[in-house]
Amino acid sequence: MSKRVTIYGGSGFVGRYIARRMAKEGWRVRVAVRRPNEAIFVRPYGVVGQVEPVLCNIRDDASVAQVMNGSDAVVNCVGILAENGKNSFDAVQAQGAARVARLAAEAGVGQLVQISAIGADPASNSDYARTKGLGEAAVLEHFPNAVILRPSIVFGSEDAFFNRFASMSQLGPILPVVGADTRFQPVYVDDVAKAAVMAVKGEAAPGVYELGGPEVETFRDLMAHMLDVIQRRKLVLNIPFPLAALMGAGFDLLETATLGLVSNTMITRDQVRNLRRDNVVSDGAKGFADLGISPTALESVLPEYLWPYRPSGQYAAIKNSAKNMRTH
């Protein structure tokens, strides 16, 4: 009988890649999400009935335990970049992670994989990084043999990073960024999924792994790389941290004053705090090399999904070819 894995947040950006790979490995996959009707797209990852979206509220013990029932392994991918109502950083990333680990230990689950983030630190002044750190500590307290994966900024066709800035670049001659000199080590989403699958199958030693791609680049350099791919010339303008903090406070205040009717989708104070720190693999940290995985380079993936942002979209290559013919 095939084994079963429950993936909390399995329809999210990283979770769906893990779900797809686990299905290919022959496992039965439960995709535990808040809105199963919006996660129907995961079903074709396997044969009929192999991959199923199920309702789960990570803030509720009974809900988390129910979808975990009968599972051989559990992966927790649930995380948020901004708070929304009851889904606060503490409730989701600290208490939610603790709940999954505690109930997994009580249920005798064989393997637990926690998707965290580089920079996770219980002592951080960023609520995002602090609760990621508290979540890790709780996971290891309840489930000492867990595997914790800390990726840097994750890229791939559904990402909220390169897609967002590529879209912004269509609006005017300037592309504003906060923390232009902050360094990142972008990691391909399917490489993170490979690491998670190894951990689920017991092929990765317990502990914390920091996952970064082959390139370490500043935010400014990443934007230049992205602009080159989408064939647009823009001025990358750095917004100083003091000004960005004021902007974040203003947008946060607007969201609070409107009782959430106006969501802060621009930048929050907490995101500004995070952008002050480099997001790269720590010296001496376990990583892809320890898992035998060669991380994928940016240039081999970005053109595959950023082409719609080119001035001529899918016809950019044809137009460039035509220009070359005229010049010869």
Fold classification of 4-156+185-213+279-295 (topology level): Rossmann fold (3.40.50)
Mean pLDDT of the region 124-146: 98
Is the pLDDT at 49 greater than 90? The verdict is yes
Mean pLDDT of the region 109-119: 98
Question: Which tens digit of pLDDT belongs to each residue from 55-69?
Answer: 999 999 999 999 999
Give me 271's structure tokens. 């995101």
Buried b (16+ CB within 10 A) or exposed e, 2-34: ebbbbbbbbbbbbbbbbbbbbbeeebbbbbbbb
| pLDDT at residue 314, rounded to an integer | 65
| pLDDT at residue 285, rounded to an integer | 98
pTM, 2 dp:
0.94
Neighbours of 56 (CB within 10 A): 24
Domain spans in the chain, listed from the N-terminal domain onward: 4-156+185-213+279-295
Is the pLDDT at 317 greater than 80? The verdict is no
Q: How far apart are CA 49 and CA 246, in angstroms?
A: 50
Is the pLDDT at 324 greater than 90? The verdict is no
Confidence of residue 84 (pLDDT cuts 50, 70, 90): confident
| pLDDT at residue 221, rounded to an integer | 98
Q: Is 52 helix (H, G, I), strand (E, B) or coil?
A: strand
Mean pLDDT of the region 232-254: 97
Is the pLDDT at 322 greater than 90? The verdict is no
| pLDDT at residue 184, rounded to an integer | 98
Is the pLDDT at 316 greater than 60? The verdict is no
Q: How far apart are CA 227 and CA 239, in angstroms?
A: 18
Is the pLDDT at 275 greater than 80? The verdict is yes
Distances from the Cα of 71 to the Cα of 79, 102, 200, angstroms = 21, 14, 11
41 close to 14: Cβ distance less than 8 angstroms? no
Q: What is the mean pLDDT of the chain?
A: 95
| pLDDT at residue 328, rounded to an integer | 57
Confidence of residue 312 (pLDDT cuts 50, 70, 90): confident
Please state whether beta strands 235-239 and 174-178 pair in parallel, antiparallel, or not at all (unpaired). parallel
Mean pLDDT of the region 37-50: 97
Distances from the Cα of 33 to the Cα of 15, 100, 137, 139, 328, angstroms = 10, 13, 24, 20, 56
Question: Which tens digit of pLDDT belongs to each residue from 172-196?
Answer: 999 999 999 999 999 999 999 999 9
Mean pLDDT of the region 21-29: 98
What secondary structure does DSSP assign to 63-99, as a single string? Answer: HHHHHHTT-SEEEE----SS-BTTB-HIIIIIIHHHH
Q: Report which of 124, 131, 136 is spatially closest to residue 100, judged by C-alpha positions.
A: 136
Neighbours of 213 (CB within 10 A): 24
Is the pLDDT at 319 greater than 90? The verdict is no
Residues ≥6 apart with Cβ < 8 Å to 27: 2, 3, 4, 5, 200
Mean pLDDT of the region 73-81: 96
Is the pLDDT at 155 greater than 70? The verdict is yes
- Residues 21, 27, 28: CA angle, nearest 5 degrees: 110
Mean pLDDT of the region 84-97: 95
Q: How far apart are CA 201 and CA 38, in angstroms?
A: 28
Is the pLDDT at 162 greater than 80? The verdict is yes
Give me 7's structure tokens. 């993936």
What secondary structure does DSSP assign to 89-125, as a single string? Answer: HIIIIIIHHHHHHHHHHHHT-SEEEEE--TT--TT-S
Residues ≥6 apart with Cβ < 8 Å to 135: 93, 94, 96, 97, 98, 114, 116, 120
